[in-house]
Amino acid sequence: MISAAAGYLTGEQDSVLLPPAATPAAQTDIVRGTVQSLEGATLTLSTEAGPTSVILAPDAVLEALRPTTLSAVRAGDWLNAGAVPHQQTLLALTGIVIIPPSVLRTPR
Amino acid sequence: MSRGLLAWAAIAAVVAGISFIGGRALKGGGEAAPAFDLSAPGYSPADTVVGSSLGGFSGFGETGGLEGEAIVAGRVSRVGLDSVTVAAPGGESTIRLTGDQRLRRIEAVDASALTVGASVVVIRKPGTDQAASVLVTAVP
């Protein structure tokens, strides 16, 4: 019994194949900032890391997040509702973003 | 030492050896355990398909927009006096607006919207300094 126990305890555990860890989605290179100037196609921003310039690509998509009202929302629009963690209600809805079909990329 | 004692010692050694090998053989392979992606967001409802604009913006934090992350999303099926109902893969959800939430709309604009002082989010083309898309989130 003692030798059997010693054998059990000193035995090497077989390796177990685990599913591969999820690969993070390709990181999107996002810059947040405040417009300092736009000269030609060069957009200069002030960011937390300091001034940054980017070139507006000829095919760059320019969009704006603008206030709207419920009366402007139509059936068929896409809606994203955002929330932040909240101590009492777990999540607190902070905003709603409407994406009309004309500027909706995904889902189609 | 008598021959009998030696024989018993030899038998004991053989039994001990067999037991030791048997014990090692009994060591199991262990339970398969799930792998966790520790970098995953803390909360991500399974049925939420977040919509994005042509520029790739959802309007919320996951794409550099408003504070928070999109937790409810879907196509608007009904608009009430103070509520919006959306159809999503997991069923319909009705959001009642209390006035505390900011209601925004993503619109296509031209370069004239990039005024000095405007807050913007830029998605760069990978590995370049070219802006693939720009979202104006606030104007001065």
Q: Do both A71 and A42 map to the same domain? A: no
Nearest CA to A80 out of A91, A66, A96 is that of A96
Looking at the fold, whether A68 and A57 belong to one and the same domain comes out as: no
In a domain, A13, yes or no: no
Residues of B in contact with A17 (CB under 8 A): 32
Instruction: Flag if A13 and B30 touch (Cβ within 8 Å).
Output: yes
CA–CA distance, B137 with B139 (Å, rounded to integer): 7
Q: Specify if A44 maps to a domain.
A: yes
Residue A8 three-state SS = helix
> Which residues pair with residue A61 across a beta bridge?
B133
Task: Count the domains in chain A.
Answer: 2
Range of the domain at A54: 29-62
- Does A23 score more than 50 pLDDT? no
Mean pLDDT, chain B cut into blocks of 10 residues (140 residues total): 83 86 71 53 62 92 77 92 88 82 91 96 93 94
Element housing B22 (H / E)? helix B3-26
Asked if residue A107 and residue A68 are part of one domain, the reply reads: yes
Q: What is the pLDDT of residues A61-82, one digit of tens each?
A: 999 999 999 999 999 999 998 8
Question: A106 and A86, same structural domain?
Answer: yes
The residues that bridge with B131 in the sheet, in sequence order, are A56, B124
**A11: in domain:** no
Interface of B with A in 72-111 (CB under 8 A): 72-79, 81-82, 84, 86, 95, 97, 100-111
Which one has a higher pLDDT value, B120 or A106? B120
Domain presence at residue A48: yes
Q: Are residues A73 and A97 in the same domain?
A: yes
